[in-house]
Chain A
Amino acid sequence: MAKIKLSEKKIAELKEVCKSFNNEKGELINVLHKAQSIFGYLPAELQEVIAKELNVSVAHVYGVVTFYSFFTMLPKGEHPISICLGTACYVRGAEKVLEEFKRVLKIQVGETTPDGKFSLSCLRCVGACGLAPVVLVGEKVYGRVSPDGVKDIVAEYNN
């Protein structure tokens, strides 16, 4: 992975986040949540700063980041698309919806379109099983999505 140089300003911001949790190593997960909500993802450089601030090894931080599926080391698209693959959505055809998104966007799960507009991921249950299959674009929930409806959802964000 190419090394990204974090700007001084961002490093300062990150240190501020760590400080708000008293640089307590037990707060690592909370720090990571906060950092991801600010920076969008958790690249290695960011983890190095956090490790130093909380006085733990980089390996420890990396271990936690990669353990939890909520944390990502790759930047997401402008409109992250998540397809729910919980059981309720699965039995109501979520897999076909996923296939259609892959086809329309020409990317695989975990990838971002070359223009940086969309990224594709799967998640397990948002708890809106009454609307299965469910797709999230950003924080907006689309219910009862059929493969035919995929193009319309994408088009909504393409203009």
Chain B
Amino acid sequence: MAKIKYHMLVCGGTGCQASKSEEILKNFQDLINTKGLENEVQVIKTGCFGFCEKGPIVKMMPDNTFYTQVKPEDCAEILEEHIIKGRRVHRLLYQDPETGEYKSDSKHMGFYKKQIRIALRNCGFINPENIDEYIARDGYQALGKVLTELTPEGTIEILKKSGLRGRGGGGFPTGLKWEITRAVKADQKYVVCNADEGDPGAFMDRSVLEGDPHTVLEAMAINGYCTGADKGVIYIRAEYPLAVERLKIAMKQARESGLLGKDILGTGFNFDIEIRYGAGAFVCGEETALIHSMEGLRGEPTVKPPFPSESGFLGKPTNVNNVETYANIPAIILKGADWYASIGTEKSKGTKVFALAGKINNVGLIEVPMGITLREIIFEIGGGIKNDRKFKAVQTGGPSGGMLTEKDLDTPIDYDNLIAAGSMMGSGGMIVMDEDDCMVAMAKFYLEFTVEESCGKCSPCRIGNKRLFEMLEKVTQGHAVMEDLDKLRNLSHVIKDTSLCGLGQTSPNPVLSSMANFYHEYLEHVGDKKCRAGSCKSLMQYIIIPENCIGCTLCARNCPVDAISGERKQVHLIDQEKCIKCGACMEKCKFNAIFIK
């Protein structure tokens, strides 16, 4: 039998695939074949490692060497040096930006040090397209335990004791949700996995599905057993082709192994799963809208009650949980409620996965214990702000959340603290902004998203958000008056209070929180017609500094709208009426004679 000495784990997540990780995989395999090392070295395509900033990642096992930013042309060197000669390829190791030290093992890297990986426990470790690797890491053991040793009530009790709350953003206790669905009497029930990750800038669910699809299938089967459902549906975005493909492979393998389908593990329990596709509608993250979309209708929400647990998919009781929630469940069953409840804060147990992005050094996917502070996330795990700029704000909860600032950096993160701070947990997007980001423009950006995504069913959301957007546009263009700011605030509250579903009830949050934290920026836009971040184009002016201008005419020749006048060797002048603020002049000027006011 072949004795494999080395396993090379190559990241096959979306980010790394975009940086040619497929080519890396192929190169490694070709090299191994030509050198006749098939019996000693195995290349495995894994899911996301999380450290997307430094992708593509290649990890060598068993010595845990962690290579970053690997290029297809580096493969020969890695194989030759690392595997044949037993020496690490130094230049591909991660270099600590502060100390300059090279770190070979990910455990010692700032990015990983504070993380606890439960939902992501298998991402980056196993080949997601091979069920045996999942089983080797205790996969499907939780399902086995539930089916053979536990009752549905007993299992629900474990979940309730663990304190697990819905990771889709709502934070509803998962065990309680299952209990409610279980209590409803019906001839047919459904369990649903909500994989319609719509928050722009969040990619937690996709990474779990791409890196560890079986954990979701296993947890859904457990859910089916506990709530009395024999059918599961995964509702997933059509924009995630890789995740869909891996789910399909996983479902096929699970069926072949008798872990899905009829008489699972010989216990008489039947459960199978099908996939339904979303088609790009943010509102479908809302349970009732999601269910309508699954039925082939427009994804419009309806008033609750009735809750899906009473009347959901095709009018039957339906239990909807999010991908990350599911990913926690097998671990909780195997390790126990007490273990899970020992992590986190009083009311928020366990860990949370965040997609850290924006103006931060280490963009990536992280899983941290509840109760960690934003400071630890941004400055220790995230490695601080890009290009040594100053931290300004971080948006959690996506378009439904709010901006947190310097003063919130030391607040322990959990569901309740984030709400108290004017934001929310949301699904886990975390966008970091620096001093070059205008907070009014950010609020406008989110509102533009909401306006586009509002389903149009209720008027506060359909009309109100449009008006909010227009007012914000007025502010960023310098046409607003002070009265508009009061209107902005009042309308925000009206929309929150009167909208039908979660989308409208939260859409004004970016406006309200930016007004609460950065009111001075609003005042500057309105009163002084000034944008301190220099990002609102209409308020910008390109000005020529007479002392520096030598009259070379380069700027005038490059201006696309002929807004610059002046004779050769004379100081030039920009006509502000004509200027379209494209910045071409400033880019071309060799004498630093143009600045932005």
| A interface residue numbers (CB < 8 A to B) | 25-30, 32-33, 63-64, 67-71, 85-92, 123-132, 134, 139, 141-143
Contact = CB atoms under 8 A, between A and B. Distances in A.
A124 B198 contact: yes
A129 B17 contact: no
Nearest to A63: B298
A64 B207 CA distance: 29
B72 interface: no
Contact of A124 (B200, B276, B293): B200
B52 interface: yes
B299 A68 contact: yes
Contact of B200 (A70, A86, A139): A86
Contacts of B79: none
Contact of B201 (A27, A68, A125, A143): A125
Interface residues of B, number: 53
Contacts of B281: 67-69
B279 A33 contact: yes
Contact of B17 (A30, A67, A68, A141): A141
A146 B474 CA distance: 28
A71 B279 contact: yes
Interface in B227-262: 238-241
Nearest to A29: B296
B276 A30 contact: yes
Given A26-B295, A70-B238, A86-B200, A127 B53 contact: no
Given A27-B296, A130-B364, A131-B19, A85 B280 contact: no
A119 B508 CA distance: 33
Contacts of B124: none
B139 interface: no
Given A71-B279, A129-B15, 14 more contacts: A28-B296, A29-B293, A33-B279, A64-B296, A64-B297, A69-B280, A88-B358, A88-B363, A129-B355, A130-B363, A130-B364, A141-B18, A143-B15, A143-B18
B445 interface: yes
Contacts of A69: 279-281, 452
Contact of A92 (B15, B18, B277, B358): B358
A130 B201 contact: no
A92 B445 CA distance: 13
Contacts of A85: 200
A124 B282 CA distance: 10
B357 A130 contact: yes
A129 B357 contact: yes
18 contacts: A30-B276, A64-B298, A67-B298, A67-B299, A69-B280, A70-B238, A70-B279, A85-B200, A87-B429, A88-B357, A91-B358, A91-B437, A124-B449, A127-B207, A127-B240, A131-B52, A142-B18, A143-B15
A33 B238 CA distance: 9
Tell me what chain B mostly uses at the interface: helix, strand, loop, or mixed. mixed
A10 to B, nearest CB: 22
Contacts of B282: 124
A87 B299 contact: no
Contact of A132 (B198, B357, B452): B357
Nearest to B356: A129
A127 B279 contact: no
Given A87-B431, A129-B15, A134-B18, A67 B355 contact: no
A68 B297 CA distance: 10
Given A64-B296, A69-B281, A132-B357, A127 B206 contact: yes
Contacts of A27: 296
B298 A30 contact: no
Nearest to B240: A127
Most B-side CB within 10 Å, residue of A33, A85, A125, A126: A125
B455 interface: yes
B203 interface: yes
B281 to A, nearest CB: 5
A86 B276 CA distance: 24
Contacts of B52: 128-131
B402 to A, nearest CB: 13
A65 B448 CA distance: 21
Contact of B279 (A68, A86, A88): A68
Contact of A130 (B15, B206, B239, B442): B15
A128 B20 CA distance: 13
Nearest to B55: A130
> Which interface residue of A29, A33, A91, A131 has the most chain B CB atoms within 10 A?
A91
B561 to A, nearest CB: 13
A144 B197 CA distance: 23
B395 interface: yes
B14 interface: yes
Which of A89, A129, A132 has the most C-beta atoms of chain B within 10 angstroms of its own C-beta? A129
**Highest count of chain A CB atoms <10 Å: which of B18, B239, B280, B445:** B18
B501 interface: no
> Can you list the 6 inter-chain pairs with the closest CB atoms, starting with the nearest?
A130-B52, A68-B279, A86-B200, A127-B203, A141-B18, A88-B357
Nearest to B429: A87
Nearest to B243: A127
B433 interface: yes
A142 B15 CA distance: 10
Contacts of A86: 200-201
Nearest to B436: A91
Given A26-B296, A29-B279, A33-B238, A126 B14 contact: yes
B15 A131 contact: yes
Given A69-B279, A87-B357, A125 B202 contact: yes
Interface string B77-113: 0000000000000000000000000000000000000
